[in-house]
Amino acid sequence: MENRLETSLSGIRLNNPVIPASGTFGFGREMTAWYDIDCLGAISIKGTTPEPRYGNPQPRIAECGNYGMLNAVGLQNPGVKVVVDNEIPQLSQVFHQPIIANISGFSIDDYVFAARQMDQTDGVAIIEVNISCPNVHNGGMAFGTQPQAAAQVTQAVKAVTHKPIYIKLSPNVTDITQIARACQDAGADGLCLINTILGMRIDIARRQPVLANRYGGYSGPGIFPVAVRMVNQVARSCQLPIIGCGGVSRAEDVIEMMMAGATAVEIGAQNLVNPLACKQIIEDLPKVMDRLHIHNIKDIIACVNE
């Protein structure tokens, strides 16, 4: 029987295009108390660095009403050894769909080390490389804001891996297509966009920033139109599969993101508002497709570019 929701990333089959975004779904096992997570297309696990990180000081979350939230968590994670030895094997026992391992680093060596570990780990299907981190050897400028730096990370990671590499792009740039093309030319297998937009909230009673870190990453429904625009720009300028993310909160958003050029879609902040969000979106997709006379989800990928 035909699966109308099926899609694929670099030859890896997904039962549907819905993926919880890294940092919003933990390591996956935590969500089994809510529902059978095998209904998901894939899971992008919590961002992992070579060494354990305890994250930024609190407060590190700021709400933005119905429009989303700011976070300055600071990549809190137990380190790659714990993740590959414990978290991924335990997730594989309860989740039988593709696992996307999200990695971060503050130097090329960090990325290479984490990528090599994930490449050697059973159960990891795709490695998602977050290049929004500051390059400690280059004045703190994020790897993802300069085409040359983005290409260097991509090339270095590709040299030590055999699994598909998807580069997660930062929207905090003048022209995201330049970064995307640099990653493509350096050998990336796919792209994921967008990451959070830099934002700030002020406690007007205290006359102080709400976040201890002052600035944080803005995510949620408020950034959705920006994400759709950037996905479309990259889809028109590159030939790589795209995982679209940024403010997706309902089935209609998944359709729109795929029409813009995404092959699959990550759900982020909405998971923190509603733990059942991904499950509900998957259940709603066939109904929305019927209403819009869409027979197969793959038929609409980048259809606005035709």
Contacts with 13 (C-beta within 8 Å, 6 or more apart), sequence order: 6, 98
Question: Which tokens in the block code for residue 81?
Answer: 């050894």
Cα separation, 69 vs 272, whole angstroms: 10
Q: Which of 75-89, 106-120, 134-148 is predicted least confidently?
A: 134-148
pLDDT at res. 138:
66
**Mean pLDDT value across residues 127-147:** 80
Choose the catalytic residue: 64, 133, 192, 278.
133
Question: Would you list the DSSP string of 237-305?
Answer: H--S-EEEESS--SHHHHHHHHHHT-SEEEE-THHHH-TTHHHHHHHHHHHHHHHTT-S-GGGGTTGGG
pLDDT at res. 290:
98
pLDDT at res. 139:
59
pLDDT band at 186 (very low <50, low <70, confident <90, very high): very high
Active site residue 245: no
Instruction: Note the pLDDT tens digit of each residue in 43-81.
Output: 999 999 999 999 899 999 999 998 999 999 999 999 999
Closest C-alpha among 290, 286, 300 to residue 256: 300
pLDDT at res. 306:
76
Q: Where are the domains of the chain?
A: 7-55+75-198+219-305
At residue 220, φ and ψ (nearest 5 deg) are 115, -175
pLDDT band at 135 (very low <50, low <70, confident <90, very high): low
Q: What pTM did the predictor assign?
A: 0.97
When the pLDDT of each residue in the chain is averaged and rounded to a whole number, the result is 95
Q: Are 150 and 131 in contact (CB under 8 A)?
A: yes
Statement: 7-55+75-198+219-305 belongs to CATH 3.20.20.70: yes
Provide the 3-class DSSP secondary structure of residue 34.
coil
pLDDT at res. 80:
98
